[in-house]
Every structure is written in C-alpha cells, then in structure tokens.
Amino acid sequence: MLQAIAPAPVSSSASTATSAMPWVNRPLMPLSEAAPYTVLSAQELYPRICVRDPYFALKDVTVLPGEVVARVPVQMDPDAQAMPIGLGEAGRHLAILGSCASALVAPKDGQHFYLASAARGQWLQPAPQERTTDLLWALAQAEYTGKRTCTARTLLSLSDGTPLFRLEVDYNVLSAAAFTRLFGQAKLEMRAAPRPADNVQRTPEEWAKLRQNPYSKPLELTDWQMDGGSLRSSLVVTPELCKGHFAMHPVMPVAVVAGGMTRMATTLGRSLEQCDTARFVAKDVKLSADSLAYAGQTVVFGAHRKQVRGADHTFACTASVGERVVAQLDVTFTRVD
C-alpha cells in the first residue's frame, strides 16, 4: 500500500499543461459502453488514467471482449539484459495497459489515478535474445478487488505471438478529488526543484533536452558506491524525469524506479562476476511500491546479491528518499554470457 503521498509544487506550467489537454473538461463516455474492437483514442484514455505521452507510448489500444490489447514500442536499450525489451520498460508499458483495462471495468466512470502498489512477474523466455525493433503485443484483463483496489493481469508477446513476460499489477485507485485531497493533507517535508521562469533564455542544448523523451534512456545515476556484495547510487528527481506522469503533480513513475533497481542489479552482477560484458535474462520479479518520489527529492538506489544458484543470481533492491522506502524489488537474473 502507498503509505505516503507528498504534495508537489504547482508552477506556472500547470495552466499550460491544462490548456494543452483540451479534453480534460469534456464529458467522458463510459468506457464500459465501448463496443468490441473499438480503438481507444488519447482523448478517451488520458483523462481516465491520468498519464499521457511521453510516458504513455502504447499504440492502437483496442477493446476486446473482457480485455484490451495494444502494440508496444521498445524505446530503451536493454543493456545488460539479453532480452528484446528491458524488464523496467516492459513493466512500464504493461502497467499502463493494465490501468486502461482497469478503467474499462471501473465501477464509476470518470477520472481516476491508478497507483501501482505491487507487481509479480515471470519472464517466459530463458534463451538470450537481442533487442527487437518490432512492435510487441500486449494484452490486459482487470478486476476490482475492493472499493479502491484493482488488479490487472497482463501478457507481453513478440510480434509473432511468442509470449515473453507475464505481469500481475495491483493498483490503489483514487478519484481525482481523493488524489488532490491526499496531496493537500500530506505532511512530508519536500524540497521543490528549482524551475526556470517561463521567460528565461535557454541554450539550444537546453531546449533539445526539454524535448527529449526521458523514458528512452537509462537514468543518470550518480554517487556509485560499492561495499562488498552491495551497490548504491543516487538520483535527483527532476520534473523532466516525470513527463506525462500525473499532470501538475510530477511523480517519478514506479516502473521507472523499478528500471533503476534492475539496472542496479545487473551492474552489481557484472561487478561481482568481474565481467563488464556479462549479460542476464530475467526470471522472476516481485515488486512492492510503498510511497512515491517527487520532483526535487533525491532517490537512493541500493542492490544486494542475496543468493547465487548455478547461473541464477537473486538480488534484493531498494529505492528510498531519506528514511522513507519508495519501492523494493526482488529479482532473479540468469547469466547467459
């Protein structure tokens, strides 16, 4: 369960963000009334799931009887993961599609925030593979498990239908009013990230950076520290790292936090194996998200290898803001070369 929600500073960009989404104030058609094989547009999805591009990158989200399907791009190099798509990015796309499936069966229509609180997954292809340039397939089914909780069961497959990754995601579901109320009631200390004024002069390089998709490259982790079988690093969360994730409330996506933790695991694995080119294939993953990281906060990532059994390496990973745990990940990777 998410135990802590901290308010994010509202800047002058908030009104700009709202005006850039003209569909926000329009009446919403109940998704439950969507006919099978209906392709859901951004105007129908963004207001309901409260994320948008570039974080949302799914294509052709289509309603089928009892589920939704979509095409999935691969935007990031898997690096040390000998897989068509990295584990963190796969989790990102599947969690978003799971929220679309959840919106389809929501007891009440309208705007909701789907906050991933836990996930359990299995990678289904043990053989090493190269990054794919094809669009993948994903499908999701969802059901409400309580008044404010739901679970989505998702599957990611290659373009030819070969199954790759099965992921089950639990969400805490908040209405827009409840989400805003929780932000206002939170008592966490937070440093606001400095933001330039709208009329500030930027260099061409700065403008180019603002136009970049932050989800197409690995996090720029710093302060790497090795201590025996453990590894630590840190990251200052900027609004740019939260693009498209909860408009006007820049929150670092849980899937991106998970991607940082899997990178910590494979980096530690390479170090302990004393091989900078070692590659791994994921096996099992279990994630819990305890709170959220906001723009202006520093996240400390940690990884510890807790078991080696043959070629299988099991890591316990954490992400924290001060004493507050943001997320924890247990992941097993198999070394393949």
Distance (Å, rounded) from C-alpha 54 to C-alpha 76?
13
Would you give the distance in Å from CA 180 to the centre of its chain?
Answer: 21
Q: Which pLDDT belongs to residue 28?
A: 61
Residue 262: name the closest of 75, 85, 92, 88 by CA: 88
Q: Are 294 and 8 in contact (CB under 8 A)?
A: yes
Q: Are 278 and 80 in contact (CB under 8 A)?
A: yes
Q: Which pLDDT belongs to residue 201?
A: 62
Q: Are 136 and 164 in contact (CB under 8 A)?
A: yes
Bond prior to 54 in cis (omega within 30° of 0) = yes
Distance (Å, rounded) from C-alpha 272 to C-alpha 71?
37
- Residue 121's beta-bridge partner residues? 167, 285
Distance (Å, rounded) from C-alpha 29 to C-alpha 127?
44
Q: Which pLDDT belongs to residue 249?
A: 76
pLDDT tens string 242-294: 999 886 678 899 999 999 999 999 999 999 999 999 999 999 999 999 899 98
Mean pLDDT of the chain: 86
DSSP assignment of 25-52 equals GSPPPPGGGPPTTPBPPHHHHHHHHSB-
Right CATH for 13-192+213-335 from 2.40.240.10, 3.90.550.10, 2.40.30.30, 2.40.160.210: 2.40.160.210
Residue 324: name the closest of 168, 221, 187, 231 by CA: 187
DSSP assignment of 173-208 equals EEEHHHHHHHHHH-----PPPP---TT----HHHHH
Distance (Å, rounded) from C-alpha 307 to C-alpha 273?
13
- Which parts of the chain register pLDDT below 50? 1-25, 185-199
Write down the domain spans for the chain: 13-192+213-335
